[in-house]
């Protein structure tokens, strides 16, 4: 099947597939606060619980799932020769074809976010329908939480729709008034636009109701104004993440992206993990497997070569590489070991590494609870603003933002030498690769694809999961593979500006 061959199936099968999501999702943690629909729609307290549970399902089971590391492998932020969950297949070079068959043992690599997002979306739409269409009042312990619950449901819906567009080539736009028997798939740009529109609805409710707080994630309790900052940050991330290629990136609305970033987070959104709500990207990508300090998911040579351009981009056939040389103090976020751990030379020694990321390691090796989750870094918001300024031709403003950021405050680096296009572009890549390493699902992938930095044949988005295609009776298709880069341009990376070039 050719890229973006939209499936137009106006049948009950589509509705059935969406209803199956909640029951068939591959979860990393137990389901959270998801009452059955009939009971939830009848009881105000259960509507509030459904609203919170839907948000947590998307964030915890989707965006913080250990399944997100597949994209970290594809982006070359980490490496592996482990066959578990087909990690080796995602990291291998030359790039392999993505397996999107329903019989694929690790189809959850492709389907997990889809399942979690549409389950969350279903719950959010039920909440919105109850409040907007049926005028249900959400009164909890004598307090009217109607607007708080509505704002959060719009927020959840915006993220669910937006992330489907960010990660997949197409998806379904559903709201509280949608007839699920008449829906059809639309492209990723439309999905992101619909997501941002719902985020704007959430903002409007928060702005009209200053007492409406957002306290759905563990110990985090955001005021209305702080919730608006968080929503603006997500809107900027989703909008700039629409571009799959450098050509597409040239036509984004950077003025709006800049406005969102300028009104985004000024401090990290950093709730604390619990036993059931924790950051799987952090726990997986910082895990050390033996006393020598070898890593389950070693840091890719791409990251180390970014610190030290003299460091090899391909691991040599013999010997062990030494430590990198750099003036950047953030190299201390990485641990060097001469032990290869579970890396297997008979699979592909060229993708080996001796480093691993420890910045977010905390106590995940002993417990999931009590760790700082860093769900959205203020550093990313600053870089989003800097990139928007750069794209708008305001290189001096971009340079000032980058110079004042973590490259100086944490890295101890001098200001950029100049404000040329190449210098700013290189600095953005540097900061995404190092400062934003493991700082959120898919963000380094999003950056790399809009600058054509991914290796040739790496996927630019997932196809609709085979599990969904099978239910609606549509043709199976997939992307990826170095040999398919030209035939599927726009869905597979060209490698034109690959970091390995």
Kindly give the confidence (pLDDT) of every residue in the chain, 501 residues in length, as a single tens digit, with 9 standing for 90 and above.
333 333 433 333 444 455 444 434 333 434 444 444 555 477 899 999 999 999 999 999 999 999 999 999 999 999 999 999 999 999 999 999 999 999 999 999 999 999 999 999 999 999 999 999 999 999 999 999 999 999 999 999 999 999 999 999 999 999 999 997 889 999 999 999 999 999 999 999 999 999 999 999 999 999 999 999 999 999 999 999 999 999 999 999 999 999 999 999 999 999 999 999 999 999 999 999 999 999 999 999 999 999 999 999 999 999 999 999 999 999 999 999 999 999 999 999 999 999 999 999 988 877 889 999 999 999 999 999 999 999 999 999 999 999 999 999 999 999 999 999 999 999 999 999 999 999 999 999 999 999 999 999 999 999 999 999 999 999 999 999 999 999 999 999 999 999 999
* Helix (H) or strand (E) segment spanning residue 171: strand 170-171
Q: What are the start-end ranges of the E strands in 350-406?
A: 355-357
* Helix (H) or strand (E) segment spanning residue 373: none
Structure-block tokens of residue 492: 């597979």
β-bridge mates for residue 78, sequence order: 299
Check whether the bond before 94 is cis (ω within 30° of 0): yes
* Helix (H) or strand (E) segment spanning residue 264: none
Residue in 55, 18, 17, 49 with CA at minimum distance from that of residue 36: 49
- The pLDDT, as a whole number, for residue 380 is 98
For residue 131, the SS3 value is helix
Angle formed at CA 116 by CA 112 and CA 119, multiple of 5 degrees: 140
Burial class (CB in 10 A: 0-12, 13-18, 19+), 467: buried
Check whether the bond before 180 is cis (ω within 30° of 0): no
Angle formed at CA 478 by CA 476 and CA 482, multiple of 5 degrees: 150
From the centroid of its chain, how far is CA 109?
A: 13
Structure-block tokens of residue 149: 């619950």
CA distance 417 to 426: 12
Residue in 103, 151, 95, 106 with CA at minimum distance from that of residue 128: 151
CATH of 12-262, one of 2.60.220, 4.10.240, 1.25.40, 3.40.50: 1.25.40
- The pLDDT, as a whole number, for residue 453 is 98
In angstroms, the first-to-last Cα distance of the chain is 30
Domain with CATH 1.25.40 in the chain: 12-262
pTM: 0.94
């Amino acid at each position: 099947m050719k890229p973006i061959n939209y499936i137009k199936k106006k049948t009950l099968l589509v509705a059935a597939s969406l209803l199956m999501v909640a029951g068939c999702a591959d979860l990393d943690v137990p389901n959270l606060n998801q009452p059955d629909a009939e009971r939830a729609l009848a009881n105000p307290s259960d509507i509030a619980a459904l609203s919170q549970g839907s948000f947590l399902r998307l964030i915890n089971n989707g965006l913080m799932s250990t399944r997100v590391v597949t994209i970290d492998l594809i982006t070359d932020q980490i490496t592996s020769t482990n066959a578990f969950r087909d990690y080796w297949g995602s990291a291998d070079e030359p790039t392999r074809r993505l397996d999107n068959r329903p019989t694929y043992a690790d189809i959850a690599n492709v389907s997990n976010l889809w399942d979690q997002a549409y389950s969350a979306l279903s719950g959010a739409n039920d909440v919105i329908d109850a409040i907007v269409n049926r005028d249900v009042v959400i009164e909890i312990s004598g307090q009217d939480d109607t607007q708080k619950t509505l704002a959060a449901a719009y927020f959840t819906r915006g993220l669910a729709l937006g992330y489907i567009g960010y990660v997949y080539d197409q998806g379904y736009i559903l709201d509280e008034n949608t007839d699920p028997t008449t829906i059809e798939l639309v492209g990723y740009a439309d999905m992101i636009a619909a997501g941002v529109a719902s985020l704007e609805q959430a903002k409007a409710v928060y702005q009209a109701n200053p007492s409406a707080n957002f306290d759905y994630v563990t110990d985090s309790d955001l005021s209305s104004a702080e919730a608006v900052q968080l929503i603006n940050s997500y809107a900027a991330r989703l909008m700039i993440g629409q571009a799959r290629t450098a050509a597409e990136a040239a036509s984004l609305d950077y003025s709006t992206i800049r406005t969102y970033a300028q009104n985004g987070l000024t401090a990290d959104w950093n709730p604390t993990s619990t036993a059931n709500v924790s950051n799987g990207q952090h726990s997986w990508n910082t895990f050390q497997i033996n006393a020598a300090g070898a890593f389950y998911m070693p840091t890719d040579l791409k990251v180390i070569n970014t610190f030290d351009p003299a460091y090899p981009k391909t691991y040599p056939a013999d010997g062990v590489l030494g430590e990198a040389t750099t003036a950047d103090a953030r190299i201390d976020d990485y641990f060097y070991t001469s032990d290869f751990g579970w890396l297997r030379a008979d699979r592909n020694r060229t993708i080996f590494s001796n480093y691993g990321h420890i910045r977010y390691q905390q106590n995940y090796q002993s417990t999931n609870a009590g760790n700082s989750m860093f769900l959205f870094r203020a550093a990313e918001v600053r870089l989003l603003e800097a990139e928007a300024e750069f794209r708008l031709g305001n290189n001096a403003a971009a340079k000032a933002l980058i110079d004042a950021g973590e490259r100086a405050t944490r890295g101890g680096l001098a200001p950029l030498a100049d404000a040329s296009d190449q210098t700013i572009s290189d600095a953005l890549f540097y900061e995404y690769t190092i400062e934003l390493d493991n700082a959120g699902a898919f963000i380094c992938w999003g950056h790399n694809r809009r600058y054509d930095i991914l290796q040739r044949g790496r996927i630019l988005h997932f196809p609709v999961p085979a599990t969904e295609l099978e239910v609606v009776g549509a043709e199976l298709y997939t992307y990826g593979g170095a040999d398919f880069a030209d035939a599927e341009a726009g869905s597979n990376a060209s490698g034109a500006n690959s970091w390995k070039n």
